[in-house]
Amino acid sequence: MAAQATPIPRQAWSVLIVSTWAFTVCFMVWMMFGVIGIPIKQQLGLNATEFGLLTATPVLTGSLVRVPLGIWTDKYGGRIVMAVLMAVTVPAIWLMAYATEFWHFLVIGLFVGLAGGSFSVGTPYVARWFPPNRRGMAMGVYGAGNSGAAVNKFVAPALVVAFGWTMVPQVYAAIMAGTVVLFWLFSASDPDHLVPSSTRFVDQLKMLKDPKVLKYCQYYSIVFGGYVALALWMVQYYVGEYGLDIRVAALLAAAFSLPGGVLRAIGGVLSDRYGAHRVTWWVLWVSWICLFLLSYPQTQFTILTVDGPKTFHIGLNVYLFTLLMFVLGIAWAFGKASVFKYIGDDYPHNIGTVSGIVGLAGGLGGFVLPIMFGALMDLTGIRSSAFMLMYGVVWVSLIWMYWTEVRRTEVMGDKAPPSPLAALR
């Protein structure tokens, strides 16, 4: 009870607010191709697989740098690492407006993608400003910066229609530069938060041998990797499947991206109260149901009746589709927070390293999945094959979680032995 009564310093709230804003801008930049990729696809005549590669390229870099960034945050502090990271991306964002060939976009996209690594910097940075019983909330609020994906869907289409797609990277570069200044003015450093260590990078990667870390990587590859992949994929999905204008498509796609980011803070609070295990379990089940329904392709079939052949149509209309995506976004928002609640509870002295590894897995999911979405669509011609793939991935996680956690916990009933996580609630 004493920990709950301890007041949180004003400086901690300042760090949390400005870090969340910085992460929102970074995520907005990271998801830029989800909108401008559509006119670029038309300009270059790309197929679905090439479009998937285009949108996923920034995600690759943002994923690969997460582990070293998490380690450097533990060692040097989040303030300096975050500021340098954002500053480095500004020239690359600006140069994107001058790209003309497919390989130009891929190469520049790799540098723009560094912005995605900001998650592994900010998560341990803000977590250490708060007591253990409030870390789920703090990491959830910071993680709400994922809503930058929705902000991108509001801002980028308006700029594309009014000025052309080349205006988007120019405006985003200016916003990022301003954010660097704002972040430096209102953030702070605490020497007590540093983790002095002579451990080598290779030694830190030995965390991958921990079965729990691998399991959290699998969970996060769904709730974050799937979120990133679908946030990049949804605008063109609406345009192709329902024939919508890019502005309307982006607005409806934001019904998935916005709750998937903003409500992460609520997921953190729920994880603090009920435990990461219980929240994650129900998140996976809700995801399973939504993805099962989303997987069903638009279908027409004809049957012979006594009055002659009759044709029927089965498929989700745009309203039901958007509603299911909205529910899925909420579930994954809670799941992103609950996975990092696991990390904060199990690895309090190594949050940076473990969050970097788990974030890497989630980011790689966000890189691989759009390419697989495109390849499946080119192969089958079925747009909903993207959801079929995600449905299968969720099945794997549900089975894994059942055998490693659920059978031993109170989720399965009163006869089960007590959960070691119960003490966290």
Closest by alpha carbon to 370, among 355, 392, 390? 390
- Angle between helix 246-262 and 148-163 (nearest 10): 160
**Token reading at 60:** 């690759």
Phi (first) and psi of residue 304, to 5 degrees: -90, 125
Q: Topology of domain 10-424, per CATH? A: Growth Hormone; Chain: A; (1.20.1250)
- DSSP per residue over 262-276, as a string? HTHHHHHHHHHHH-H
Give the whole-angstrom CA distance, residue 23 versus residue 66. 14
Q: What is residue 287's predicted lDDT score, i.e. its pLDDT? A: 94
Dihedral over Cα of 75, 77, 78, 83: its sign: negative
Pick from 425, 270, 343, 364: nearest CA to 124 = 343
Q: What are the structure tokens assigned to 123, written together?
A: 């998560």
Query: Token match 């609950």: residue?
Result: 338
Dihedrals phi, psi of 420, to nearest 5 degrees: -65, -20
Query: What's the confidence (pLDDT) of residue 200?
Result: 61
Looking at residue 408, the DSSP 8-state letter turns out to be G
Domain boundary assignment for the chain: 10-424
57 contact partners, CB below 8 Å, separation of at least 6 = 33, 105, 106, 109, 110, 113, 367
Place of tokens 């970074």: 26
Q: How far apart are CA 401 and CA 394, in angstroms?
A: 10
- Work out the angle at residue 34's Cα, subtended by the Cα atoms of residues 28 and 39, and round it to the nearest 5 degrees: 125
Residue 48 near residue 158, CB atoms below 8 Å? no
Per-residue pLDDT tens for 369-400?
A: 999 999 999 999 899 999 999 999 999 888 88
pLDDT in tens, 55-81: 889 988 888 888 788 778 878 888 899
Integer Cα distance of 161 and 165 in angstroms: 8
Give the angle subtended at the CA of 263 by the CAs of 399 and 58, to the nearest 5°. 75
Compute the distance between CA of residue 26 and CA of residue 232 in angstroms, rounded to an integer.
15
Over the chain (425 residues), the average pLDDT of each successive run of 10 is: 59 90 93 90 90 90 83 84 94 93 92 88 85 78 83 90 92 95 88 62 68 84 89 89 89 86 78 83 92 90 86 88 94 87 75 75 87 91 92 89 70 42 40
Exposure b/e, 32-66, CB count within 10 A at least 16 = b: bbbbbbbbbbeeeebebbbbbbbbbbbbbbbbbbb
Q: The pTM is what? A: 0.78
Query: How many helices (H) and strands (E) in the chain?
Result: 20, 2
Q: pLDDT value at position 418?
A: 44
Hey, is 305 helix, strand or coil? strand
Phi, psi of 300 (to 5 degrees): -125, 135
